[in-house]
Structures are given as structure tokens and as C-alpha cells.
Amino acid sequence: MKLVFATHNLNKLKEVQSLVGKDIELLSLTDIGCTEDILEDAATIEGNALLKANYVKDTYGYDCFADDTGLEVKSLNGAPGVFSARYAGEQKSATDNMNKLLIKLATHQDRTARFKTVIAFAKAGNKQTFTGICNGQISKEKIGDGGFGYDPIFLPDGYDATFAQMAMPLKSKISHRGKAMQKFLDFLSEH
């Protein structure tokens, strides 16, 4: 089975390919000739995931799934949330985003946070969403050099390591994206 995963992010593509296994061949946006940045202007994480999946289905005709992820920090009233990728500006710099968040949290005792991923699947006559959540804390500094995005500052509950310190199999098993992907894969196996 071939499915388009609506991303240009090769790190994310590799992570998700490891989750779906060999029975599903993932195509990136680049693979289908989609070079444009798909507008993500919805007010919610769910809305952005649906925008991307629907855009690919409607424009290119491929069955597609898309994800959107937000980091929600309790003491910042859920920020950066839907703006996680652009928290420090349109350049979408993970380093700038983490630095801004660490500065914002410098005076906060409560560093409770959660990652939320929503996967939207668009297939002819069928649109579904699947949500995964991973609770944790924001560390006081960047630790680890693996992963991407906010991984070096996110400590999942029950672990003494950030996502950036974890091997891919463990991260994939406990992460927000891994949980959402498992729900999506369960759906695909039933339909």
C-alpha cells in the first residue's frame, strides 16, 4: 500500500516510516511533486492536520494523511500550542523556538507540558482524525542531540531522559506521534 504523508520534513518521514513498517510505502510531498508550503491557518491542531490532508487529496488526488503537533505548556495557558512550529517567528527554527520557551518559563515553577499530535486521514469519502498525547515536563536546558523540534527540552512522564536522548524505538512507543500513529494503523488494518 502507498500513502502520501503530507510532510517535507525528512526526520519526521523517517520516524513515521519506522512506525508504519514495510507494508506501507510512504511518499512525501516532494515525492508527489508538491513543492509548496501548505497553508496552516486553522485555529486548532486538528484543523491544521485536516487542511493539509484535504489539500493533498483535493489537489493531487492521493490518499493522504497529515499530522500536526503542538507543545502545550500549562503555565503558559497552553502556548505555544497551534503556533509551536512558528513560536519564535516564521523562520520555523527549532533552536529559536526552544530558546524562547526556556526564557518564558524562567520564572515559572510549574513546567508541566504535553505534546499533542493529531493525524488526519483523507481518502475518497472518508475523513478521520486520530489523537495522541504525551504528558511531561519542560527541562531547564537542552539535553541530547537526537530527535527534532522541542525534543531536547521535553521530559516525558516516567523517564529521566528527554526525547532527544532516547533511542527511536522507545521514543516511538511512548510519544504523542507514536500513539496517534498506532490508532491510525489500527484503523487502516480494520478498513
118-128 pLDDT, tens per residue?
999 999 878 99
Q: Which CATH number fits domain 2-190: 3.90.950.10, 2.60.40.10, 3.20.20.10, 3.30.200.20?
A: 3.90.950.10
Are 5 and 13 a contacting pair, CB within 8 Å? yes
CA dist 117 and 95 (Å) reads: 20
pLDDT, one tens digit per residue, over 10-64 is 878 887 888 887 888 899 999 999 998 898 899 999 999 999 999 999 999 999 9
Q: Residue type at 145?
A: D
Q: Residue type at 57?
A: K
Quickly state the pLDDT bin for 81 (edges 50, 70, 90). very high
pTM: 0.90
- Alpha-carbon 90 to chain mean position: 18
Q: Which of 71, 83, 181 is nearest to 137 (CA)?
A: 71
Catalytic residues, which ones? Answer: 68
Are 6 and 56 a contacting pair, CB within 8 Å? yes
Quickly state the pLDDT bin for 136 (edges 50, 70, 90). very high
